[in-house]
Amino acid sequence: MSKYNISLSVSLAAIMMMSSTAALAQATERPFAIAIHGGAGTIKKEKFTPEREKAYRAKLAEAVEAGYSVLDKGGASLDAVTAAINVLENSPFFNAGKGAVYTHNETHEMDASIMDGKNRQAGAVAGVKHIENPINLARLVMEESVHVMLSGDGAEEFASQQGVALVDNTIFDTEGRYKSLLRAKAKMKKAEDELKDYQAAHQALATEYKVGTVGAVALDKMGNIAAGTSTGGMTNKRFGRIGDSPVIGAGTFAENESCAVSATGHGEYFIRYNVAADICARVKYQGKSIEQAGNEVIHDVLMPVGGTGGVIIIDTKGNISLPFNTKGMYRATKSNISPTYVGIFKDD
Ligand code: ASP
């Protein structure tokens, strides 16, 4: 059992030993909790100056707090998920919204999805270029359209109809991501020259160019869970490539009967292995805990086939699990009984 799973029962026991009215009220309160991620990947401690690490941790704490305060005031898990993801989308640190990676054509194409565990309603957008907060548009697709997924120009036409402002694609530009595109292009060219094959060269490209995303899962006081994910996808992507993040069942899934999941990792694997839905199916049909189900899929299913990444998972009891098979995953949690936890590296 990981520290995230035990924290709930340990804190409950501690609270029950206290005799103050406040503690009793807290103990009888319905659980509410949130977990967020800012992407999994080759995140090495030596690449961070102390200042940079502090800034990342502060942004993760800010995002989890934004979602938590919605829940604390009695707000819906969907609103908490959106609020937390907006903070991460608006930060240049993460591969979503501002800070999204570059495509081969030096633009940004973003994907996002959201799902409501109460009724399995879902919304998603793929390949949007002019939407400042793609998660908000995914939510509008869920709430204001009869569809689940809209893509490209059509999604943006729908956004305009809904009164969402279209922004210039350059607002997502960041110097660091541009340098990363140039490095990825140089590596791909070298590999293509050697291997004489685009597909093989792409396979050879290091994981760091294929991962990075943001997401959130939350449980509200009404007992409903929700999940959302937003991404710029893969550096140097071509041909309108879409990853798992907007695919319900792969990158995002939520149903109150099992769990809510947001994924980050090499999208092609997460689509083929239907990762988010598979985790929830194991909980629902095999009676597994979210921790068991998450570990099985991330370590026993994905790892052997080379699928790198991680997930954040929550259930209606407020249990949280954060398995990943990469060097690190930006992550944070907070619940009504456990204080803010922020992690980046494996041993955090
Ligand atoms: N899953 C995303 C994609 O493949 C990237 C990531 O989460 O790291 O587009």
Q: For the chain, percent helix, then strand, then coil, each to nearest 5?
A: 45, 20, 35
What is residue 188's predicted lDDT score, i.e. its pLDDT? Answer: 79
User: Total domain count for the chain?
Assistant: 2
Answer for the pair 306, 317: CB distance below 8 angstroms, yes or no: no
Tens digit of each residue's pLDDT (9 = 90 or more) over 136-195? 999 999 999 999 999 999 999 999 999 999 999 999 999 989 998 998 888 878 777 777
What is residue 10's predicted lDDT score, i.e. its pLDDT? Answer: 34
**Ligand 1 in contact with 233 (CB < 6 A)?**
yes
Catalytic residues: 213
Tens digit of each residue's pLDDT (9 = 90 or more) over 59-117? 999 999 999 999 999 999 999 999 999 999 999 999 999 999 999 999 999 999 999 99
Judgement on whether residues 188 and 254 belong to the same structural domain of the protein: yes
Judgement on whether residues 12 and 44 belong to the same structural domain of the protein: no
What is residue 44's predicted lDDT score, i.e. its pLDDT? Answer: 85
CA-to-CA dists, residue 298 to 168, 206, 217, 278, angstroms: 37, 19, 17, 10
CATH assignment of the domain containing 269: 3.60.20.30
Judgement on whether residues 154 and 231 belong to the same structural domain of the protein: yes
Q: DSSP class of residue 96?
A: S
What is residue 210's predicted lDDT score, i.e. its pLDDT? Answer: 57
Smallest Cα–Cα separation from 7: which of 318, 270, 242? 318
Judgement on whether residues 23 and 148 belong to the same structural domain of the protein: no
Judgement on whether residues 26 and 45 belong to the same structural domain of the protein: no
Judgement on whether residues 168 and 108 belong to the same structural domain of the protein: yes
Mean pLDDT confidence for 273-291: 98
Judgement on whether residues 135 and 284 belong to the same structural domain of the protein: yes
State the pLDDT confidence band at 28, using cuts at 50, 70 and 90: low
Mean pLDDT confidence for 238-252: 97
Q: Which tops the pLDDT comparison, 188 or 236?
A: 236
Domain of residue 273: give its range.
31-345
Smallest Cα–Cα separation from 107: which of 51, 191, 167? 167
What is residue 206's predicted lDDT score, i.e. its pLDDT? Answer: 62
Residue 242 DSSP SS3? coil
Judgement on whether residues 127 and 161 belong to the same structural domain of the protein: yes
pTM confidence score: 0.90
**Which residue's CA is the closest to the ligand 1 atom numbered 9?**
233
Tens digit of each residue's pLDDT (9 = 90 or more) over 39-58? 998 888 888 999 999 999 99
Judgement on whether residues 2 and 58 belong to the same structural domain of the protein: no
**What CA–CA distance (Å, rounded) separates 117 from 301?**
25
Tens digit of each residue's pLDDT (9 = 90 or more) over 200-224? 666 666 666 655 799 999 999 999 9
**What CA–CA distance (Å, rounded) separates 243 from 270?**
8
Whether residue 12 is predicted with pLDDT greater than 60 in this model: the reply is no
Judgement on whether residues 125 and 224 belong to the same structural domain of the protein: yes
Whether residue 6 is predicted with pLDDT greater than 60 in this model: the reply is no
State the pLDDT confidence band at 199, using cuts at 50, 70 and 90: low
Angle at which helix 50-72 crosses helix 77-89, to 10 degrees, equals 160
What is residue 108's predicted lDDT score, i.e. its pLDDT? Answer: 96
Judgement on whether residues 88 and 9 belong to the same structural domain of the protein: no
**Which residue's CA is the closest to the ligand 1 atom numbered 5?**
211
**What CA–CA distance (Å, rounded) separates 310 from 297?**
9
Backbone angles phi, psi at 317, to 5 degrees: -90, -10
Mean pLDDT confidence for 334-341: 97
Judgement on whether residues 7 and 45 belong to the same structural domain of the protein: no
How high is the mean pLDDT of the chain?
Answer: 90
**Which residue's CA is the closest to the ligand 1 atom numbered 7?**
264
**Ligand 1 in contact with 243 (CB < 6 A)?**
yes
| Best residue for ligand 1 mutational test, from 234, 242, 326 (most atoms within 8 Å of Cβ) | 234
